[in-house]
Chain A
């Protein structure tokens, strides 16, 4: 990432929300939308620009589960682990995906930055349990096999074509 380009993007995001401390969360969301995560350089630049200490911004970014300081994949798969999904066996879906994507414990994103797998709290579609959300689209009554099929489509580049 070019430093000047990053600065210009952050400037635009700050401009949009207003350079005041109370807008910090919206601004961080804007940066995350842009980069799919919160790059360190962008936060350091933001700290300087808004005259907030970098440590405070880091504190805000680490407080909320939704912010990520690690680069995320192009496609984000969220596996719901709310109560309904959990008892309808969401864990085997996660295990199968980790195996399919060769993700060891503690890693959520593939090395090629194609896919990120996250276990999340209730997505609010309990009647469809267990659900998986891929790039914002909800897939109902999933099984390990059906989810692996989705991943294969993503890998082949045919994901989303037949939907």
Chain B
């Protein structure tokens, strides 16, 4: 508590953790590269420097607000220093902006423009370091790195993975995986949270747009797209719309304009997952084997468990994720028709997630040599394709999804917010009791953004304990608590990204707490107004289980050797 003077204005502060927060609260957008409220304070980029009344320059992110403090955010000295620091950052930076994957969305570019850096007095480095494109989801270009350390901290502090670190010293300083390996050779789970926080093009999403265009233009290919729930509440942000604004109808229209033959909803497959996974859970509950059951829909989490807790292999649900189930079903659905008509069905999924690219490429994700999913495009890549065609997205008329796989329940939609899977499975477990929005006491427990949530309820005289966790570091802590006997659960939902798929590695940046909340709100809004409430009331899904999948359940399960 106290009062400080910022640019000759009196400002009250309460519990702000640093001077930077106070400055931003009063409406001055002080620039930063390395400051994220959810990460530890690093003070590396020096963009947030301010001057105090004694002429001292300091980084406002690393200073506690003090009563009576007098600071200035714009003085000739601050301006000169800040420009100089920017110039030095640019001196080490690959300046090939026009061909950069994130040009126009780059924080470094934006600040260079904002502070009028028109001439960089220092020569460019000749030596170019190799680009690491070994991973299915992400590309690392160390030549564009400004050593802000955001990727290192998010990977370590939020995800508990620690795939990247600062290595070597002084002018040899690098950000690199252990033993200078590529990211595909280490414990990286492809979640892409590093890409979300990277202020430059040093970490970008692996670009699969070309493969998509080629498939679209091949007359012998039937291009079938599935749209993940989290995409529809975030894509609009790339076109100036608000986070959480639902743009499903526009996305469908845009995909048709791109030349996609059929457009479906991944939430349809989420309905299938809910039915299949809750069935699996009921079976395990009665047999008592391999409990707790961990969800398997998040490929980042699955990979994390494989690296760190291989002994949990049998506890992870054998159900394929909705993306993979969808692909397997569509491929099976068109199998005969394709072989008669000489066509090939190409499954393209539009995902908020970089790990989904890696999931689709996994060895076991195919049936009789046919890949479940052929191409995975992230929200950002789709936005770029729409922009490339010059489609005025915000003015598109809404179009409806194709049938039959365009029908999804509200349960399937909220699958992607944290707690969504559990809510969906619980809804199904308590099927005798109709889902009533008047008394969703249990469900309120599992919505929201707390680190670890738990709930328990009665099913046939047995107490079922469930936990929900998002952010892999939190998952790691939860597993440690289970191992030490502190906690016991029957069902655990894990989502690798903080807040679930809404803040996936393929979503527009910035993605902060506010964006997450708004995007999740958008999803719950769809759920509220959806025609079919629960997965098993989805007639198309029911038909599918009774008909096509009757003897072919293997299509929608993972068979690990």
Contacts and interface: CB of A to CB of B under 8 A. Distances in A.
Interface of A: 40, 43-44, 47, 52-59, 62-63, 69
B134 interface: no
B122 interface: no
B376 interface: no
B159 to A, nearest CB: 10
B145 to A, nearest CB: 15
Interface string B172-214: 0000111110000011000000000000000000000000000
A55 B168 contact: no
A52 B180 CA distance: 17
Nearest to A44: B178
A145 to B, nearest CB: 35
Given A40-B179, A69-B179, A56 B156 contact: yes
A23 B165 CA distance: 19
A54 B187 CA distance: 9
Contacts of A56: 156, 162, 165
Nearest to B172: A62
Interface in B269-298: none
B178 to A, nearest CB: 4
B542 to A, nearest CB: 46
Given A40-B179, A58-B179, A69-B179, A53 B163 contact: yes
B164 interface: yes
Interface string B441-469: 00000000000000000000000000000
A55 B169 contact: no
A49 to B, nearest CB: 13
A54 B178 contact: yes
27 contacts: A43-B179, A53-B161, A53-B163, A54-B162, A54-B187, A55-B162, A55-B163, A55-B164, A55-B165, A55-B167, A55-B176, A55-B186, A56-B156, A56-B165, A57-B178, A58-B165, A58-B176, A58-B177, A58-B179, A59-B165, A59-B166, A59-B167, A62-B167, A62-B168, A62-B169, A63-B167, A63-B169
Nearest to B164: A55
Nearest to A48: B308
A137 to B, nearest CB: 29
Chief secondary structure at chain A's binding surface: helix
A64 to B, nearest CB: 8
Contact of B165 (A44, A53, A69): A53
A57 B164 CA distance: 11
Given A52-B162, A62-B168, 10 more contacts: A40-B179, A53-B156, A53-B178, A54-B187, A55-B163, A55-B164, A56-B165, A58-B179, A59-B165, A62-B167
Interface in B120-179: 156, 161-169, 176-179
Contact of B168 (A40, A47, A57, A63): A63
Contacts of B176: 55, 58
3 nearest CB pairs, A to B: A53-B162, A55-B165, A54-B178
Contacts of B163: 53, 55
A57 B179 CA distance: 10
Contacts of A58: 165, 167, 176-180
Nearest to B476: A51
Nearest to A56: B165
B392 to A, nearest CB: 45
A62 B175 CA distance: 12
A40 to B, nearest CB: 6
A40 B163 CA distance: 16
A44 B186 CA distance: 11
Interface in B237-282: none
B193 to A, nearest CB: 15
Contacts of B179: 40, 43, 54, 58, 69
Contacts of B180: 58
A47 to B, nearest CB: 8
Contacts of B168: 62-63
Nearest to B169: A63
B177 to A, nearest CB: 5
B480 to A, nearest CB: 9
Nearest to B170: A63
A63 B179 CA distance: 13
A105 B162 CA distance: 34
A43 B186 CA distance: 13
A58 B164 CA distance: 10
Contacts of B161: 53
Contacts of A59: 165-167
B156 to A, nearest CB: 7
B10 to A, nearest CB: 44
A155 B167 CA distance: 36
- The residue in A53, A55, A57, A59 that gathers the most chain B C-beta atoms within 10 A of its C-beta is A55
Nearest to B166: A59
A117 to B, nearest CB: 21
B439 to A, nearest CB: 43
A54 B186 contact: yes
B264 to A, nearest CB: 40
A43 B165 CA distance: 15
Nearest to B162: A53
A12 B178 CA distance: 24
A63 B174 CA distance: 11
A58 B177 CA distance: 8
Nearest to B480: A51
Interface in B525-549: none
Contacts of B186: 54-55
A55 B180 CA distance: 9
Nearest to A52: B162
Contacts of B156: 53, 56
Contacts of A57: 178
Contacts of B169: 62-63
Contacts of A53: 156, 161-163, 165, 178, 187
Contacts of A63: 167-169
Nearest to A40: B179
Contacts of B166: 59
A41 to B, nearest CB: 11
A45 B165 CA distance: 18
A44 B178 CA distance: 9
A54 B179 CA distance: 8
A53 B151 CA distance: 14
A8 to B, nearest CB: 22
Contacts of A69: 179
